[in-house]
C-alpha cells in the first residue's frame, strides 16, 4: 500500500476474541455460532483490538493493542436458537 499511496497515512486494524484461553474465529455457520454462544454464555470474553498507523512519507509505524472484556450473561437455549 505504501508504494501505491506515497505521502499518506495508512491505517490498519483487526480484532481477535479469546475465550477460555483459545482464540475464537468467525463461526461461518449457524451451528458454529450456536456452539460459540453456548460456550460464551455466563463467561467473560477478552477482545484484543490491534491498530497500526503507518506514515508512508516518513516510514514511521505506530502500533497499539488494546484488550477489553465482555461479560456475557447466561443465555437460554431458546435465546441462542
Q: Cβ neighbours of residue 77 under 8 Å, at least 6 residues apart?
A: none
14, 20, 69, 77: the active-site residue: 14
Is there a catalytic annotation at residue 14?
Answer: yes
Radius of gyration of the CA atoms of the chain, in A? 18
HSE, side-chain direction, 13 A CA sphere, residue 10: 15
Alpha-carbon span 76 to 78, nearest angstrom: 5
Catalytic residues: 14
Amino acid at each position: 500500500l505504501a508504494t501505491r499511496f506515497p505521502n499518506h497515512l495508512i491505517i490498519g486494524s483487526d480484532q481477535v476474541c479469546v475465550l477460555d484461553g483459545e482464540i475464537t474465529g468467525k463461526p461461518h455457520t449457524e451451528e458454529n455460532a450456536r456452539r460459540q454462544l453456548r460456550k460464551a454464555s455466563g463467561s467473560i470474553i477478552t477482545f484484543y483490538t490491534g491498530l497500526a498507523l503507518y506514515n508512508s512519507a516518513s516510514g514511521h509505524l505506530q502500533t497499539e493493542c488494546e484488550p477489553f472484556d465482555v461479560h456475557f450473561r447466561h443465555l437460554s437455549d431458546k435465546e441462542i436458537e
